Structure 1
């Protein structure tokens, strides 16, 4: 795994943690962070010891989006180039990863930072955290999958309003409207997140990967196609070692031990 002080990595008990670590600039993303995240996500896909991935941040922010200092210098790249080379690959890697990805939003998530969180499988946040589609405030359009994920999560009307106005959404409001899964009290946030990712890491991750793949395709399919896909993936799931272990554990009235195969 690559070393990078701006994006911390750790692996413990099957949980790979990626932590934005630029608190002095509210964990804004530069080229170094973006490319390191891409590489870590690829490595997590290949590493059988990784059974769940956690994305979070240090300090007061989760991620404030793009580091504007990187795109305002005399020889700066075009914003579109950064989107194509930095953010789009991260979003695709998150969605293609055959393991659950949890975003633990510890503070403000703005711009691309908000949309990277929304690309994850499960999003939780501190009650004091907030989400801002900040692009309109500087004349840009929402990127990093924002125009794809947000309308699907909260509906077109709310997504449109939040993207046009750039209004701040509290974690409690985000949970209420279905933007995120849960908002946790600040004082118990770390413990709640740890319990959640440990639970996912101990589950039958092959079946979770099949579920994720079905969800990735659901909005592009009609009911008949989705039913056929469910039957196909259920056939695959029924031939896994974890399925046999789950059934045996149920019949033997014991806790199952899943291996992700």
Structure 2
């Protein structure tokens, strides 16, 4: 049914698993369509009481596909299209608008757009070895998928700026200290700990939670779509810079980038 994700129902829980392990579960244009579709399906299914997002294999999600960035640079066809970046924001909004509570079960790393998706969820569960990585600055990009938007709400603009600019991996316990993770579990126990947590969430009054999410979205996330459109414009402009080209080339050549700016 899906090309880039798995959709499974376990009892009354919907599991949406990012299923591109060969590229670190990096999102593709198909992912941008399928993930919101799956969330809508879970949201409208009266038998589903909660949703779990996770990744197949070692990583939750490595973010954008670097090879796709390379192809755009080689074709010199106008950089990253705004509509693709807008689609990353739509994933985050689909999570926020899902009527069921959404839990991100973060295996390995959630980087770039993967971090944005995780931050959009209602809850985040991490192992001690799991990490959140903003990643964008290393690609010569300002960020998409609402990462800055969600970060500033959770940790304030000063810390959000630091996390984005320096992009140091945020391990499980540090993420918990910052308020980015709701629960940190021992390495190797993520699957069973997530199941125990989500069953507790699923036992709560689902319709009440839906109303609660509506209220939260209306008053605390009302400008998210506007933000997503603006970040798309700036991501596009950044993708045309020499810094972005150098970042992609350096990554693929496995060396440190040499940024020169304007």
C-alpha deviations, 1:223-256, integer Å up to 9, x for none? xxxxxxxxxxxxxxxxxxxxxxxxxxxxxxxxxx
TM-score by length of 2: 0.78
Whether the aligned pair in 1 keeps the contact of 2:36 and 2:95 (CA below 8 Å) is no
Q: Which residue of 1 aligns with 2:177?
A: 176
Taking the aligned partners of 2:167 and 2:108, their CA distance within structure 1 comes to 17
55, 62, 66: which is aligned to 1:68? 66
Aligned length: 218
Aligned pairs for 1:103-142 within 5 A? 103-142=104-143
C-alpha deviations, 1:50-101, integer Å up to 9, x for none? 11110001211110111122233236872422111x2121111111111100
Taking the aligned partners of 2:99 and 2:157, their CA distance within structure 1 comes to 29
Larger Rg: 1
Cα distance 1:37–1:203, how it changes in 2: closer, same or farther (>3 A)?
Answer: same
Taking the aligned partners of 2:182 and 2:23, their CA distance within structure 1 comes to 27
Whether the aligned pair in 1 keeps the contact of 2:61 and 2:114 (CA below 8 Å) is yes
Taking the aligned partners of 2:31 and 2:200, their CA distance within structure 1 comes to 28
- Superposed displacement of residue 213, structure 1: 2.0
Taking the aligned partners of 1:94 and 1:189, their CA distance within structure 2 comes to 21
Taking the aligned partners of 1:142 and 1:170, their CA distance within structure 2 comes to 20
- Superposed displacement of residue 153, structure 1: 0.6
RMSD of equivalent CA atoms: 1.8
Whether the aligned pair in 2 keeps the contact of 1:70 and 1:76 (CA below 8 Å) is no
Q: Which residue of 2 aligns with 1:248?
A: none
Q: Which residue of 2 aligns with 1:83?
A: 85
Cα distance 1:43–1:77, how it changes in 2: closer, same or farther (>3 A)?
Answer: farther
Taking the aligned partners of 1:163 and 1:26, their CA distance within structure 2 comes to 21
Taking the aligned partners of 1:76 and 1:68, their CA distance within structure 2 comes to 16
Q: Which residue of 1 aligns with 2:153?
A: 152
Structure number with the bigger relative contact order (C-alpha 8 A, sep ≥ 6) is 2
Q: Which runs of 5+ in 1 are unaligned?
A: 222-261
- Superposed displacement of residue 183, structure 1: 1.1
- Superposed displacement of residue 218, structure 1: 4.2
Q: Which runs of 5+ in 2 are unaligned?
A: 223-262
5, 10, 13: which is aligned to 1:15? 13
Taking the aligned partners of 1:66 and 1:220, their CA distance within structure 2 comes to 24
- SS of the residue 1:50 aligns to: coil
- Superposed displacement of residue 182, structure 1: 1.4
Cα distance 1:16–1:93, how it changes in 2: closer, same or farther (>3 A)?
Answer: same
33, 49, 52: which is aligned to 1:51? 49
